[in-house]
Structure 1
């Protein structure tokens, strides 16, 4: 376990890296004994720095929900991070590329809670009962910690990703909101287009066999920290496509069929 001074220093690095739009090197390389718990401790300290600037938490994201991503990261469960208020962007608009370092796009469903969820013991059915509506979402992930080391080209470890807000950097909500019992959420599908070309397709069942499963997992996971999911929270349930890279000038468009579309352009 890292000591409190080191945790605070690493959180400050990420806080400054996000503002300066520059990457830092792998924490796990500098601190080989780093653990998942250390990653979340750094993340929580970074949140405190953002809150001191007046930022607020609008919800949470869940990542690494697909089996393929868990195997590649050598973990057996998802990860999570807060969604800060300045990470939300309007659908259909232009997003300034300078807000990001190396953005990639993922296709997700967002759960908008009408009631709080506090673990332990939260179930999939509890999540559906507490959800006001589900809406299509695009998550913009980024890497304040290098995805690949600049010299060795080694990929970063899950401890690094967790520290780095689980890679979250932006959220675009859109499409048609639906009640969670109005459709079979497992069979919600989407096609992600970049500049008019289909880059990725997927089904929401790829998220732990049901996207609400991840929300239940999250409510139970944060309970030991005396935390809960609150009414009004936006919870990103996890991507059901691989990340798609994007640069200035790229237009992203996700077609969710009956649930409508989400789109934006980087400028």
Structure 2
């Protein structure tokens, strides 16, 4: 395992890469013995420094929960990161592309909790009971570690590659819609690039919420009422560049549009 000094040094490297929108060398290339616990410790130091600087946590993202994403990354275990209030956008937003590195977009559902959820034995039914509503979301990926040869240790350390999210306007309670069959048709500049359905996320997108509650219980934490949980993508990531217009049609859950400027 890494020393506390090594963990703090890597967290500062990632913070600097975030400030400069740069890329650092793979952590696992330099520290091949680094563990998943080390990576969450790095993320935790980075998170705590951001909170101390005045940023406000609004929720967490789950990643690598679908076969599409696992095959796209070569990583087979889900992960999670944190989300700050200044990373949340509404549909129709102009998003500055220079704020990110390796900019890609994923199709997801987000869940807002009405009650706390604590592991280690949460089930899908427990998660559904704790969810206030689901809302369509696009996640903007933001990777600060070189892509070639990246492992789950690198990804987790880099806050699970989270950059921002764009939320839709339609809210649905879990008892109003079969969340497994919410579709996503993702277009870039009018051309359909990716399609999928939410069942691609662990069979039911809210399963990821239960997984997350159980996972963070290992670190003595729980999900709190009011948190936003991004459940994971059910399409492969789509690359975007400055000037691209992005649109995703979720059928009865509405449409999200944004532009990268």
Q: Give, in angstroms, the shift of residue 67 of structure 1.
A: 2.8
> Kindly tell me: are residues 73 and 266 of structure 1, through their superposed partners in 2, closer, same or farther at Cα, counting changes over 3 Å?
closer
Counterpart for residue 54 of structure 1: 54
Q: Which 4+ runs in 1 deviate beyond 4 A?
A: 71-76
Counterpart for residue 178 of structure 1: 172
Counterpart for residue 151 of structure 1: none
In structure 2, which of residues 226, 232, 247 is the aligned counterpart of residue 232 of structure 1?
A: 226
Q: Give, in angstroms, the shift of residue 52 of structure 1.
A: 1.6
> Kindly tell me: are residues 72 and 174 of structure 1, through their superposed partners in 2, closer, same or farther at Cα, counting changes over 3 Å?
closer
* Distance across 1 between alignment mates of 2:67 and 2:226: 29
**1:214-233 → structure 2 map (5 Å cutoff):** 214-233=208-227
Q: Contact conserved, 1:142 with 1:167, CA < 8 A, in 2?
A: yes
* Distance across 1 between alignment mates of 2:193 and 2:74: 26
SS in 2 for 1:171: strand
Q: Give, in angstroms, the shift of residue 215 of structure 1.
A: 0.5
Q: How many residues align?
A: 261
Q: Give, in angstroms, the shift of residue 181 of structure 1.
A: 1.1
> Kindly tell me: are residues 11 and 232 of structure 1, through their superposed partners in 2, closer, same or farther at Cα, counting changes over 3 Å?
same
Q: Tell whether 2:179 aligns with 1:158.
A: no
Counterpart for residue 147 of structure 1: 147
SS in 2 for 1:8: helix
In structure 1, which of residues 236, 239, 264 is the aligned counterpart of residue 258 of structure 2?
A: 264
> Kindly tell me: are residues 75 and 5 of structure 1, through their superposed partners in 2, closer, same or farther at Cα, counting changes over 3 Å?
same
SS in 1 for 2:218: helix
Counterpart for residue 121 of structure 2: 121
Counterpart for residue 87 of structure 1: 87
Q: Which stretches in structure 2 are left out of the alignment for 5+ residues?
A: none
Q: Deviations over 1:107-151 (max 9, x none)?
A: 000000010101111111111111110000000001111112xxx
Q: Give, in angstroms, the shift of residue 158 of structure 1.
A: 1.1
Counterpart for residue 152 of structure 1: none
* Distance across 1 between alignment mates of 2:70 and 2:188: 26
Q: Deviations over 1:166-214 (max 9, x none)?
A: 0000011014110111111111111001001100000000000000111
SS in 2 for 1:211: coil
SS in 2 for 1:253: strand
Q: How big is the alpha-carbon RMSD for the aligned residues of Structure 1 and Structure 2?
A: 1.2
